[in-house]
Amino acid sequence: MHRAVMPKIGTAQAWRDAARQFLAAGVPPEAILWGETSTAPDLFGGASPMQTGGQVTVPRSFISMASSVVWHSDPERFARLYAFLWRLKDAPQLMTDRGDADLSRLRRMEKNVHRCQHKMKAFVRFREIGPPDAPRRSFAAWFEPTYHTVEPTADFFLRRFSDMDWRILTPDVCAIFEGGKLTFREGEEKPALPEDASEQLWITYFQNIFNPARLMVKAMQSEMPKKYWKNMPEAAHIPQMIADAPARARAMAEAAPSLPPARMAQVQAQLAAHQSAWEGPKDSLAKDIAACTRCPLHCNATQAVPGEGPMDADLMIVGEQPGDQEDLSGRPFVGPAGQLFDQIAGQAGLERGKAFLTNAVKHFKFTPRGKRRLHQRPNASEIRHCRWWLDAEIAQVRPKLVLAMGATAAEGLTGRRGAILSRRGKIEETPSGTPALLTLHPSYLLRLTDPQAKADATAQFRDDLSAALRLLA
């Protein structure tokens, strides 16, 4: 029988050294008696010399887990770790087996240690023990950890308070940082630490950041367990703060301003810009669109092109903007793109006359090129101005589904920019709550020169039209 006695200080390295030697020598778990002591005797006291069998490698994930588990308070932690390590040497995949009971237990112990370390970082309260005018200020804190977490957590305080001397005193192990050197020693009884004038400043801050309207006692006690309160100066005020919370919350509500904040006007103005204020009768909507001068596009266009179709249609089809022929005739979808739409819609079984057809932008935007007028894409400002009319059409028709053809239509309906090729075939929601099915614009099909690419895009467009009918069925 082999005996391994683990020291209280330097436990992690001691266990690693012992486990490595036992494993290399082929010593099974049942042949080892693990223990711990407050001193640091020979790791293998009472054991016969061992013959090692060479280098042994284990997964790094186990090393990481073991480096935390050794600081747990379970007296069986060393034996459990080695027993699992013994299995692991022949089955490395055990570290990923979530159903393994031994691994699950070790993971819970690891989690407990990590949580204890977190509490230590949060709840250690230092008091100054040296003269404030000393070349190097000195502080001390008393803490009572649940597990042996002083040594593995000391590096956190070393990094954070490297410009001062400090000591963290516990009943288990004490960490001492003096003159730039970190040491550990046996634990001690709670010392009588001097009062610290800065504590009152901290308590005042703590009381003032407390929000009684958001008090959740159970959640607070979960994050700040009562066992730590006795060593935290601010904790003495928590019971009274909890008791006063209802009255303070009522007082805050009564003292709240009756007028909306100044920024509210800006928010309401932004919302108004995205919602149509047109409230005229249905038969005057087209006339009012025709008279629109909300953006500069009306200056060069022949006329505005309002939507047309049944005012109670279940499907609204939104294009991008009028083209040259639409601008001249005053009707949507009559040019080459509209004719192609009619052709493909017929193949998909969609009847044009049963849908309300319109455009996201009501005026033709173009640049003159001799006797020709070349189409230009509307910018974000123009789309936003015309959205006022598009929202009015949606409010009047109240369709069950909107089919958005092209990127401009998608932006006008949803307010979101983005490549239409990656969004087509998907349903996005408009601010009014009406679902919008995004698809290509027929003009895109006309611009494609590659026969195969054109055939594929046409098939996608036809599929989207068919999908719109299925959604309405």
pLDDT, tens digit (0-9, with 9 covering 90-100), for 11-52: 999 999 999 999 999 999 999 999 987 444 444 444 444 554
CB contact at 8 A, 322 and 305: yes
User: pLDDT tens digit string along 371-410?
Assistant: 889 889 999 989 988 988 999 999 899 999 999 999 999 9
Least Cα distance to 405 among 391, 427, 386, 424 occurs for 424
The band of 55, judged by pLDDT with boundaries at 50, 70 and 90, is: low
Taking only Cα atoms into account, the Rg of the chain, rounded to an integer number of angstroms, comes to: 37
Alpha-carbon gap, residue 321 to 360, rounded angstroms: 6
pLDDT at 388: 85
- In this prediction, residue 427 has a pLDDT band, given cuts at 50, 70 and 90, of very high
* pLDDT at residue number 45: 47
What residue segments make up the domains of the chain, in order of their start? 2-119, 124-186, 198-253, 282-472
Determine the length of the chain.
Answer: 473
Q: Taking residues 80-85, report their average pLDDT.
A: 96
Short-list 446, 383, 371, 391, CA closest to 417: 383
Instruction: Please state the rounded mean pLDDT for residues 282-287.
Output: 83
The confidence score (pLDDT) of residue 263 equals 65
Helices (H) and strands (E) in the chain, counts: 17, 14
Kindly give the interhelix angle for 60-69 and 101-123, rounded to the nearest 10 degrees.
Answer: 60
Beta-carbon contacts of 387 under 8 Å, excluding residues fewer than 6 positions away, are: 274, 276, 360, 412, 415
**Higher model confidence: residue 57 or residue 323?**
323
CATH number of the domain at 282-472, please? 3.40.470.10
Tokens of 200: 């009152």
Least confident of 209-213, 257-261, 410-414: 257-261
- pLDDT given for residue 216 in this prediction: 80
For residue 283, pLDDT beyond 80 = no
pLDDT score for 159: 93
Round the average pLDDT of the chain to a whole number and report it.
Answer: 87
Per residue, the 3-state secondary structure of 268-332, as one string, reads HHHHHHCCCCCCCCHHHHHHHHHCCCCCHHHHCCCCCCCCECCCCCCEEEEECCCCHHHHHHCCC
Report the C-alpha gap between 314 and 469 in whole angstroms: 10
Residue pLDDT, tens place only, 141-154: 999 999 999 999 99
Over pLDDT 90: what percentage of the chain?
60
CB 191 within 8 A of CB 169: yes
Question: pLDDT-derived band of residue 304, with 50, 70 and 90 as boundaries?
Answer: very high
CA distance 178 to 231: 23
What are phi and psi for residue 51, nearest 5 degrees?
-95, 120
- Of 162-166, 222-226, 294-298, 329-333, the poorest mean pLDDT is in 222-226
CA separation for the pair 72, 114 (Å, rounded): 10
- Once rounded to an integer, what is the mean pLDDT over residues 430-439? 90
Answer whether residue 183 shows pLDDT above 90: yes
What are the structure tokens assigned to 448, written together? 């494609």
Specify the pTM. Answer: 0.51
Beta bridge partners of 314: none
Query: Distance between CA 339 and CA 362 in Å, rounded?
Result: 19
Q: What is the pLDDT of residue 166?
A: 95
**Banded pLDDT at 293 (limits 50, 70, 90):** confident
Rounded CA separation 277/270 (Å): 13
For the ranges 361-365, 380-384, 436-440, the lowest mean pLDDT is seen at: 380-384
Q: What percent of the chain has pLDDT over 70?
A: 91
Could you report the per-residue pLDDT of 184-193, keeping only the tens digit for each? 999 999 998 8
Higher pLDDT, 269 or 437: 437
